[in-house]
Amino acid sequence: MRYELYYWPGIQGRGEFVRLALEEAGADYVDVARGSGKLGGMAAMTRLLDSAAEERPPFAPPFLRAGRLLIAQTANILLFLGARHGLAPSDEAGRLWTHQLQLTIADMVVEAHDTHHPIASGLYYEDQKREALRRAEDFRQTRLPKFLGYFEAVLERNPRGPGHLVGARLSYADLSLFQLVDGLGYAFPKAMKRRARRYPEVMALHARVAKRKRIAQYLASPRRIPFNEDGIFRQYRELDA
Amino acid sequence: MRYELYYWPGIQGRGEFVRLALEEAGADYVDVARGSGKLGGMAAMTRLLDSAAEERPPFAPPFLRAGRLLIAQTANILLFLGARHGLAPSDEAGRLWTHQLQLTIADMVVEAHDTHHPIASGLYYEDQKREALRRAEDFRQTRLPKFLGYFEAVLERNPRGPGHLVGARLSYADLSLFQLVDGLGYAFPKAMKRRARRYPEVMALHARVAKRKRIAQYLASPRRIPFNEDGIFRQYRELDA
């Protein structure tokens, strides 16, 4: 079965967390809105989002078509893929713990996004730049250390060693933490460079995931959209320090 | 088994979504941080949050102790309770759909919170009031209609009728939508009064959940903390219109 991933075609965004899981799993998938022609492109995604016939409509991208299932919400898609592709433990405790970590990563993603859009996602950055300067400063000084310190502690305390967030094997939470750190490094290069040595296990995990065979191939491929200033992680120099 | 819920003792906050599920389930639970003495109170919660011995630490309250499990992240706790207490369908599609709705409710909760704290959760409202006025206006005019219109569509399209978000039975998503609408009615009475007639099924669900036997008993009990200006939903007149 071929999965259909629906997400904005020009950015990594939240879709990237799903892409990384699909790539690591070696799953057969099509990135629908990046396709062209009748069967793909933005029109296909818009059609589905606007369809009044969809009994279980998504609120927003990303969403994944898996046979008869249409699944939205990034963490929910990963919950599904984790179970299908061995990217999470199969026992209840491990499954919940992995999901808990993913939801905490998702919380930080919202906060990273809101550094450049603290007032309204529908307004331009330029129209909320003054507020963004304030929010980004708090993010760098308070939130970033709190979240990364937490993930560092999780890795340190893992009884199976600091190689993974959960147990002794890779999970989708590891892939997502890689993406989070990658995005933070793009958006806040100065802040991250200065702080990296406080989070050695987090940074080591980031480096290790990037070198995994399938992930390395993906990152080097045209399927990996470069970071840019339309996504969640944006490099606005004035927001970094 | 008695559940132990850990959450800030003075507010409904995110803990309320868990409390409603526990109450509807008739589950045996103790609201630890609201207790007193050696076995309860804030000290018990702080001790657990600060403990370096916890292998799978929560990032923040709420969290739930269920035997040997310690589960954090509101939506994750509800995923667990939903399966245990019949507050979600047991089939994969229904379970994921219920969780997807919960995560969308959680997204709106973040945005409702950020109307009064758009810059930093660690700063006082008074120190970000100007920004709050801008964010609240966008929330009322853009985000509130988008989210509530979405939930209205979900209810309308439910093939089992608009009585519930998922299928023909109550789920934790219904309880959470009740809480969301209740909070919005407290924080934005004018905006909600003016718009209520656009979301008849959402408002009907809110009224119906409030009348469920166990929920009505809970809401009338001292266990239900009144809304106040320390929680997620705050009644600041200048943010309503």
Q: What ipTM does this complex have?
A: 0.97
* Cβ contact A232:A16 at 8 Å: no
3 state DSSP class of B158: coil
Tens of pLDDT, residue by residue over A207-230, are 999 999 999 999 999 999 999 999
Mean per-residue pLDDT of chain A:
96
CB contact A72 to B (< 8 Å): yes
Task: Give the pLDDT score at B35.
Answer: 87
- For the segment B221-241, the average pLDDT, to the nearest whole number, is 97
Residue B3, pLDDT > 70, answer yes
The single residue listed with the structure tokens 């409702």 is: B112
Q: Which residue, among B201, B200, B220, has the nearest Cα to B210 in the 3D structure?
A: B220
Given this model, what pLDDT does residue A37 score?
64
Q: Which residues of B touch A118 (CB under 8 A)?
A: 114, 118-119, 131, 135
Contact call for B138 and A158, based on CB within 8 A:
no
DSSP B19: H
Burial class (CB in 10 A: 0-12, 13-18, 19+), B30: middle
- What fold does the segment set A92-224 form as a domain? Glutathione S-transferase Yfyf (Class Pi); Chain A, domain 2 (1.20.1050)
Domain borders along chain B are 3-84, 92-239
Q: List pLDDT tens digits, range A109-149.
A: 999 999 999 999 999 999 999 999 999 999 999 999 999 99
In B73-92, the residues whose Cβ lies within 8 Å of chain A are 73, 75-76, 79-80, 92
Q: DSSP letter string over A170-203?
A: --HHHHHHHHHHHHHHHH-HHHHHHHGGG-HHHH
- Say which range, A41-55, A158-172, B113-127, B212-226, has the weakest mean pLDDT: A41-55
| CATH annotation of B92-239 | 1.20.1050.10
How much is the pLDDT for A232?
98
For residue A98, pLDDT over 80 is answered with yes
Buried b / exposed e across A131-153, counting CB within 10 Å, b at 16+? bbbbbbebbbeebbeebbebbbb
DSSP A55: S
Quick: pLDDT tens for A69-80: 999 999 999 999
- pLDDT band for position B38 (50/70/90)? low
What's the gap in Å between the CA of A194 and the closest CA on chain B? 22
Q: Is some CB atom of chain B closer than 8 A to the CB atom of A58?
A: yes
A174-208, pLDDT tens digit by residue? 999 999 999 999 999 999 999 999 999 999 999 99
Please, which pLDDT band fits residue B1 given cuts at 50, 70 and 90?
confident
pLDDT at residue number A203: 98
- Asked if A158 and B55 touch (Cβ cutoff 8 Å), the reply is yes
pLDDT of residue A17: 98
Helices (H), chain B: 15-25, 42-50, 74-84, 92-114, 129-138, 144-157, 172-187, 189-195, 200-211, 213-219
Answer whether A103 sits within 8 Å of B142, measured CB to CB. Answer: no
Q: Do A118 and B119 touch (CB under 8 A)?
A: yes
Q: What is the pTM of this model?
A: 0.98
Looking at beta carbons, which residues of chain A come within 8 Å of B115?
Answer: none
Give the pair of three-digit tokens for residue B70.
Answer: 């310690």
3-state class of B64 per DSSP?
Answer: strand
Of A69, A142, A147, nearest to B122 by CB-CB distance is A142
Is the predicted pLDDT of residue A35 greater than 90, yes or no?
Answer: no
- Mean pLDDT across chain B: 96
CA distance B147 to A48: 18
B97 reaches A (C-beta below 8 A): yes
Whole-angstrom distance, CA of residue A64 vs CA of residue A230: 22
pLDDT of residue A40: 77
Task: List pLDDT tens digits, range B103-138.
Answer: 999 999 999 999 999 999 999 999 999 999 999 999
Identical topology for domains B3-84 and B92-239: no
CATH topology of domain B3-84: Glutaredoxin (3.40.30)
What part of A 150-179 touches B (C-beta under 8 Å)? 150, 153-154, 157-159
Q: What Å distances lie between residue A109 and A6, A116, A177, B196, CA to CA?
A: 19, 12, 10, 32
User: What integer pLDDT is reported at residue B37 of this predicted model?
Assistant: 64
Mean pLDDT computed over A26-38: 89
Of chain A, the percentage scoring pLDDT greater than 70 comes to 98
CA distance A129 to A229: 14
